Structure formats: C-alpha cells, structure tokens
Amino acid sequence: MQESYLNETYYGSENEAFSSIQVPPNIHFFARLDGWKFRKLTNKLNAEKPFDRRLAQCLVKSAKAVFRSGMNPSLIYVASDELNILFGANAPFRGRVEKINSVLAGMVSSVFSIAVKAVFGKDAITAFDSRIILTPDEENMIKYLNWRQADLWRNHNNAYAYWMLRKKGYGSADVAKKLQKLKTKELHQLLFQEGINLAKTPTWQRRGILIYREPYVKQMINQKIVRWKLIENWDLPLFTTEKGKNLLTQILQWSQFRRKI
Ligand SMILES: Nc1nc2c(ncn2[C@@H]2O[C@H](COP(=O)(O)OP(=O)(O)OP(=O)(O)O)[C@@H](O)[C@H]2O)c(=O)[nH]1
Ligand SMILES: [Mg+2]
C-alpha cells in the first residue's frame, strides 16, 4: 500500500533535466542580468529620456542587495538596464547555473520593483533575465567589461539621437531608418548641431556605474583592523585606458584579498 502510494506520487528528480549544469570549479564568471521590456517599463514610469538617474539608482540599490545577500561578488557593473555580476573562484550554490540565475534574477527583480515604487510612486512588476559568461582569467574579465562599456557607449549615442529626433516630430520608424544610415561621426555632428555634445553628458550615462568593496583601516584601542565599505562609483574612467585598467586590477586584488581573510 505504502509502496504503490509512493510510486503514484513520485516523479523523479532525474527529470530535472538541467539541474546538474554547473560552472566549472575555480572559474571566474559573470552573471549578466538584463531588465525585461524596459523600454515599455520606462514609458510607464514616465522616466526621463534618454536617461533617468532615478532608474540607475534603483539598479544600484539592487546591486547592493546582491552584495549584502552573502553571495560575495567581486564587483557589479551597472550599464543601461544591465547588472554584470562578477564571481570569483568560490561560486555560490556550488556553481549550479539554474540556482544562480534564478536566485539572482528573483532578488534583483524584487529589490528593483520595491525601489521603483519608492522612487517613482508607481507599482511595477519587473523582471530580469540572467545568463552566465565564463571569464577564466583576469584578461578575459577586463575584456568582458570593455565590451559591455563599449556597448553602453553605442547605446548612449543612439538613445540621445533617437530622442532628439523624436522631439523634433519624427516617427519612431523614420528615426530608426535615419539612424541606421548614419555613420558614428555623422551622428556626433548631428547632435552637436542641436547643442548636445556626446562627450560631455554625465559620466555614468557614458561609462556606467561600478559597485565594489574597498578596504579601509580602522584604529581600535590596541590595534588596527581592516574594514570594508561598499562603494558606488558613478565617475568611471574608460576601462581601456591605463586608469581604467588600474582601477579594475585594484578591485580584483581587493576581492581576492577579502576572500583569503
Ligand atoms: N527613458 C529611459 N529609458 C531607459 C533608461 N535606461 C534604460 N532605458 C530603456 O531600456 C532599454 C534597454 O534596452 P534593451 O534591454 O535592449 O530593451 P528592453 O526593452 O529591455 O528589451 P529586452 O531586454 O529584450 O526585454 C533602452 O532601450 C531604453 O528604452 C533610462 O534611464 N531612461
Ligand atoms: Mg532589457
């Protein structure tokens, strides 16, 4: 009786077909979370175009929640509606991909929705997708960040051009066609004529925002101890420059050091 009851109600975990997919041990990787249908969401929120600092603040809040969750990322790079979360050799959840993606997407979506309600005063059910990108060594981690920053810069330029033309009365299909034909230099010139210098927009819009832990020394009665503070850097250099590379290398060293102590 007992056995047939079990048989009828058992649907084996062997059918959880993807649960064994894991990040290889001791490999650094990014989880990239991207806001789902954010164009529609930003319209609903009546967010400033092309960029709204309040929206970026909600993303930064979500990134900080990941840091405080105990998952211990090395850094998080926020660009447009993306969170790029770097993990070191100690992957959370033993590197189980389904678990990492689903927990991160769930956490970021819920913190972001609550932040949006507080900042914009509107209910919004938001969602993020999440994927894993392997970056086995420091060179690849920096290469990956260079790529996301370059992508942000392209989207930034297009967004400024798009909304400038829309404000002038062009329809969205016409604008898309017009932008497709323009070379980068022509796009810069077009905006410059309208009083928009793409090199002078707020730095965070062009280069993104980085969240990481920085050490500081605290003097106690008989000893000095190292403490860590969570930094949000809205004034980033280009990652391809010496200054940018040095900043990233420093953050990676700090996170390695933190893991050891
Ligand atoms: N107005 C406004 N829109 C923003 C801002 N940040 C991001 N967005 C919007 O978010 C979009 C992000 O690009 P995508 O991720 O390609 O577009 P999406 O609508 O989220 O589409 P999926 O990710 O495929 O679901 C941009 O195209 C903008 O429309 C902002 O600060 N202000
Ligand atoms: Mg998106």
pLDDT at 88 over 80: yes
pLDDT at 7 over 80: no
pLDDT (0 to 100) of residue 90 = 85
Closest atom of ligand 1 to 52 CA is 31
* Minimal-distance CA residue to ligand 1 atom 5: 51
**Distance from Cα 58 to the centre of ligand 1, integer Å:** 14
Q: Relative to the alpha carbon of 36, which ligand is closest? A: 1
Q: Please, which pLDDT band fits residue 89 given cuts at 50, 70 and 90?
A: confident
Taking CB atoms and a 6 Å cutoff, what residues make up the pocket around ligand 1?
34-39, 42, 47-52, 55, 80-81
Q: Please, which pLDDT band fits residue 112 given cuts at 50, 70 and 90?
A: very high
Average confidence (pLDDT) over 50-64: 98
For residues 164 and 196, the answer to whether their CB atoms sit within 8 Å is yes
Q: Relative to the alpha carbon of 162, which ligand is closest? A: 1
The pLDDT mean for the chain works out to 95
pLDDT at 1 over 90: no
Closest atom of ligand 1 to 51 CA is 31
Burial of 222 per CB tally in 10 Å (0-12, 13-18, 19+): exposed
Per-residue pLDDT tens over the stretch 173-185: 999 999 999 998 9
Closest atom of ligand 1 to 48 CA is 1
Q: Which of 33, 41, 42 to mutate to test the pocket of ligand 1 (most atoms within 8 A of CB)?
A: 42
Q: Which of 44, 58, 81, 109 to mutate to test the pocket of ligand 1 (most atoms within 8 A of CB)?
A: 81
**Single pTM value for the model:** 0.95
pLDDT (0 to 100) of residue 9 = 84
**Distance from Cα 37 to the centre of ligand 2, integer Å:** 6
For the record, the structure tokens of 175 come out as: 């604008």
pLDDT at 4 over 60: no
**Distance from Cα 17 to the centre of ligand 1, integer Å:** 33
Average confidence (pLDDT) over 207-235: 96
pLDDT at 130 over 90: yes
pLDDT at 202 over 80: yes
**Distance from Cα 253 to the centre of ligand 2, integer Å:** 31
For residues 36 and 115, the answer to whether their CB atoms sit within 8 Å is no
Q: Which of 211, 192, 37 is nearest to 124 (CA)?
A: 37
**Distance from Cα 93 to the centre of ligand 2, integer Å:** 26
- CA atoms in the 13 A half-sphere facing the CB of 4: 1
Distance CA 98, CA 78 (A): 22
